Structure 1
Amino acid sequence: MQTAMTRKEVILSAGALRTPPILEASGVGDKDRLQQLGIKMRIDLPGVGENLQDQPNVPLLYTGNLNVSGTAPYATFLTAAQLFGQDVEDIAATTLSSIPSWAESLASSSTNNLNTSAIKQILTLQHKLIFKSNITIAEILTSAAGTTLLSAFWLLLPFSRGSVHLASTKEEDINAPSIDPNFFQVDFDLQTQMAIGKLAQTFWEQESVKSLHPVPIPGRGLDDNATDPQWTAFIKETFGPNYHPVGTASMMARELGGVVDSRLRVYGTENVRVVDASVIPLQVSGHLTATLYALAERAADIILKRT
């Protein structure tokens, strides 16, 4: 590792998967973890690298009787009410009652770097956004290329939380952090992913597209009469990250596991700010680009002391 010194402002913009390892290599993080790595602790911030959230992406693939060079995909966004229909109130109640046990499980998997009370508050806020504010929670991306038809789908607001940490101080490990996305630890995420997939599948059953004769590709698609166990197995075998990671240096109160304050400054420092997706404490209902543009503009105002 190399050490860089500065007399002025430090702006860390390495992204949600690289910012935490850099902080840890600099002595900012959970004291026990730093001690195990042989790194001198400068600031004890247990939330560094915790609260990782990404969206699980599952592709449904079909062959069809067409051959195109490519078409622009179109996206469908759904709220919980649209996805669950008449069952939404029952699902909302069941989800709310499950939050305490989810919080305990997530706190345990974080080696209690995030406490149960803090996670419960965060998940309750997320529940309110989903079931009261009615923000979108699902996205389906439909496209065609060659003879392949695709519906990729994902849950926008997972309740599961993972982590990313510095694996060791060896030179070869600095750029290869230990990443545990912890997908589907919370059963709501898997059940919702299944509901999105079933809805995505109905698109290819519509009369207007039946002329394409979509046939599921073995191992990459499912028949119309697939059972819930078959859906569960399919999702777990085919999903991957959506590459929208957030939350690993969250802008939250320090006692809740936050890493930066409302001015993007790392707690315990005077001149270190984080400006990337790691500071976003909850997933967003869409893609990150526009949100990060806004974050960067806000950071510029703060740094230039215009606000």
Structure 2
Amino acid sequence: MLLTSIDFVIVGGGTAGLVLASRLSEDPTQHVLVLEAGADLSEDMRVKVPGLFSSLMKTEADWGFQSQPQRHLKGRQINLHQGKALGGSSSINAHVFVPPTWNLLDTWDSVLGNQGWNRSSLQEYYAKAYTFPSVDRSLETALGVDGWTSSTPSSASNNGPIQLSLGGTAGHPIREAWAETFRTKGMHMGSNPLCSTSDDAAMIGSFSCLSSIHPKTKERSYAASAYLNPIKDRQNLVVLTSATVERVLFEGADVKRATGVQYKHDGKTHIVSSTKEVIIAAGALQSPKILELSGIGAREVLEKHGIELIKDLPVGENLQDHLVSGTSFEAVDHLETLDDLIRQEPAAVEKAMEEYMTSQTGPLTSIGIRTYAYLPVVSEPGRTIIEKAFLENPPPVGDRRDEVRARAHYEIAKKTLLNPKEPSAAYLSILWQFIFPVDPTSDSPTEPIPGKFLTLGFLLAQPLSCGSVHIGSSDPSSAPVIDPNYLSNPIDAEIMAQHALYLEDIASSPPLSNLLKQPLRRRDPASDITSVEEAKRYVETSSISMFHYAGTCAMLPEEKGGVVDHELKVYGVEGLRVVDSSAVPLISTANLQSTVYAFAERAADLIKQEYGLK
């Protein structure tokens, strides 16, 4: 079906793009076109079956980018995965559905200057995106969610598109052991973290992790299956796959207005016009590329590649991402893990596939991530080291946009990261050996080894290190040049080191320690660290990206380095918005999935209100 008149052209059929397509096409008078570079893989078993998610990496479903060599990670190039399929990264992610710390959302408004973007306005949009799972009261303790029933407000009992579940076998001991271990330490969240109230001063402690896995079908619940498929037959909506947008088109003299886009499909170049808006939703690594190819970006970048300047903006700067590291500890023999699947043992793989295909049970119903914890630096000496790092690494002084933005980020970070009631890392457990990059000077194993393992991982919740993503050529088919600049701020390295050291304490604490062989045995001997300097070296050699990219078309006041305003409109032009993680001004505490859904849901309402849509 072809639309004769397009009101909204959405560039990118990923997580945010499909939320917008679904919501904007609710008004039958509006005609919406989605252009997605990837294919529709909604019937692909690698997408549908939770336990097969890792098989999608570096395939046709993944853009498969790599970073520039990272100076503070021993010169390593880091794999940067981004979904290239209908549903975007929600089609290849690890299903983790966790919230930010709600206090962090308030800083988007109060410190960063984004009017109306705070916990009060956003919590309803988080809830609007998902359906909370029903839990048998008799299983609450085993699932580590005792106390959630009374703390979950009625607003969470909704019918949002994304179907959540507490993935995996209910009787597995990891959730209860995790909850009791942190409860003993006085760091357990007794309430549902997705439904924290405005009275909560902080979100510190452990909790059971919800997954975007349908509780009945045991399949991935994501943007394509949940937002698009139920409404894909609407006559006013067209979704075109394998369509790569090359640039936005503009008209006008003094003030430019976006009038459409140029894209390539089936080897041919096409142009489509929009009567209302072009909305860029290509993700934090691709949206900057499309803007720069269209003439919106830093003057020096565009001049270098011979592109006519439409508007000078710091597009592609402020790239933020979560680094993750951790340690795999050998588990007791009776613990159920996914290690035999990681080793691709034929009998185990065959059995798991049979269980899943015949009864939607078994190890493939989850990927073994069932618990999380939001934690500060716990030790007093560690907090002293972090305080010193802040004193020794002040933000830049000056009036340049990047300097003003850096000071705002520093203000937020200092207030939160030095507060023992605010997290500086998110911890998770993984029921299989995770093969982090190994120190090339060590004898560490680089392939799966025999045995059962429980991995304790941690990610840097609020990095101060920011990077960039820019075009390296005026050729639309060229990959962007991505430099996350990991650990360039020494404060980040100090915080990562402290959390690396704390893994030993967690692994040694009962009842979690009862799931591990004693004395503790590590898969990688290099992870046996006892000093801050050893911890820093391990972080530098082992850390990888969690693929949580944000901030490259930041929603900020223009004087603070913003690319879009608080209505997500690109400064200096008309008819153009950016709605995806690139517009998120400050990275979420942990996984971005829930935040991108909420961000897009609110954006859809802002657009509807402006045009008086249903």
Scaled by the length of structure 1, the TM-score of the pair is 0.85
> Is the Cα–Cα contact under 8 Å of residues 467 and 485 in structure 2 kept in the other structure?
yes
Which residue number in structure 2 is paired with residue 58 of structure 1?
325
**Contact 2:337/2:454 (<8 A) preserved:** no
Residue 304 (structure 1) shift: 1.0
Opposite residue 165 of structure 1, the aligned amino acid is: H
Q: Which stretches in structure 1 are left out of the alignment for 5+ residues? A: none
Separation in 2 of the partners of 1:241 and 1:134? 26
CA contact 1:115–1:256 (8 Å) conserved in 2: yes
Q: 1:155 aligns with which of 450, 455, 460?
A: 460
Q: Distance in 2 between matches of 1:197 and 1:305?
A: 47
* Residue 290 of structure 1, CA deviation: 2.0
Q: Sequence identity of aligned pairs in percent?
A: 29
- Tell whether the 8 Å contact from 1:30 to 1:113 is kept in structure 2 after alignment: no
Is the aligned partner of 1:78 residue 2:384?
A: no
Q: Secondary structure of 1:153's match?
A: strand
Amino acid at match of 1:281: P
The C-alpha deviation readout for 1:92-115, integer Å capped at 9, x for no partner, is 653543453x437xx9xxxx9743
Query: Cα RMSD between the aligned structures?
Result: 2.6
- Which one is further off, 206-215 or 155-164? 206-215
Is the alpha carbon distance of 1:96 and 1:247 closer, same or farther for their aligned partners in structure 2, counting shifts above 3 Å? same
Q: Which has the higher helix share?
A: 1
Q: Which residue of 1 aligns with 2:570?
A: 266
CA shift, 1:26, in A, is: 0.5
Aligned residue pairs, count: 292
Query: Which residue, out of 500, 512, 524, partners 1:218?
Result: 524
Cα distance in 2, alignment partners of residues 262 and 33 from structure 1:
25
1:243 maps to a residue whose letter is F
CA distance in 2: counterparts of 1:84 and 1:210, whole angstroms:
24
CA contact (8 A) 1:140 1:200 kept: no
Deviations 1:20-51 (A, max 9, x none): 11100110000111000111111111x21001
1:248 counterpart = 2:248: no
**CA–CA separation in structure 1 for the residues paired with 2:522 and 2:280:** 45
Q: CA deviation at 1:172?
A: 3.6
Give the drift of 1:210.
5.1
- Which digits, 9 at most, give the CA deviation of each residue in 1:271-297, with x for residues without a partner? 111110111111222321222222112
Summarize the Cα distance change of 1:27–1:211 in structure 2 as closer, same or farther, 3 Å threshold. closer
Gaps of 5+ in 2: 1-245, 248-261, 263-270, 339-367, 433-450
Report the Cα offset of residue 126 of structure 1. 2.8
Distance change (3 Å), C-alpha of 1:117 and 1:143 = closer
Q: Which moved more, 1:63-72 or 1:233-242?
A: 63-72
8 A Cα contact 1:96 1:124, kept in partner? no
CA distance in 2 between partners of 1:141 and 1:73 (Å): 8
Which residue is 2:388 aligned to?
94
Matches of residues 286-297 of structure 1 in structure 2 within 5 Å? 286-297=590-601
The 8 Å contact of residues 160 and 184 in structure 1, kept in 2 or not, is answered as: yes
- Mapping for residues 4-153 of structure 1, pairs under 5 Å: 4=271, 5-45=273-313, 47-66=314-333, 68-70=336-338, 71-80=368-377, 83-85=378-380, 88=383, 90=384, 93-100=387-394, 102-103=395-396, 114-131=401-418, 134-145=421-432, 147-153=452-458
Q: Is the 8 A contact 1:58 1:152 kept in 2?
A: yes
What letter is aligned with 1:73? R
Greater C-alpha Rg: 2
How much has 1:158 moved relative to structure 2?
0.7
Q: In structure 2, what is the Cα distance between the partners aligned to 1:211 and 1:157?
A: 30
What's the CA shift for 1:59?
2.6
| Residue 121 of structure 1, CA deviation | 2.8
The whole-number CA distance in structure 1 between the counterparts of 2:316 and 2:284 is 8
Preserved contact between residue 50 and residue 113 of structure 1 (Cα < 8 Å)? no
CA change 1:34–1:191 in 2 (3 A) is same
Residues 247 and 280 in structure 1, CA contact (< 8 A), matched pair in contact too = yes
Pick from 535, 538, 549 the counterpart of residue 234 of structure 1: 538
* Separation in structure 1 between the aligned mates of residue 455 and residue 291 of structure 2, nearest angstrom: 40
- Among 194, 212, 217, the residue aligned to 2:497: 194
Query: How many Å apart are 1:207 and its aligned residue?
Result: 5.0
Is the partner of 2:609 in helix, strand or coil?
coil
Q: How far did residue 84 of structure 1 move?
A: 4.1
- Give the distance between the partners of 1:21 and 1:98, measured in 2 at CA: 35
SS in 1 for 2:431: strand
Letter in 2 for 1:74: T
Provide, for residues 249-303 of structure 1, a one-character-per-residue CA deviation record: whole Å limited to 9, x for no partner. 1111111110000100000111111110111111222321222222112111111
Q: Residues 230 and 288 (structure 1 numbering): CA distance in 2 closer, same or farther, change over 3 Å? A: same
* Counterpart residue identity of residue 235, structure 1: V
Is the Cα contact below 8 Å between 2:284 and 2:550 reproduced in 1? yes
Of the structure 1 ranges 261-270 and 208-217, higher mean CA displacement relative to structure 2 is found in 208-217
CA gap 1:6/1:139 in 2 versus in 1, 3 angstroms: same
Whether the 8 Å contact between 2:293 and 2:476 is mirrored in structure 1 is no
Could you tell me how far apart the structure 2 residues matched to 1:65 and 1:133 are?
33
TM-score using structure 2 length: 0.44
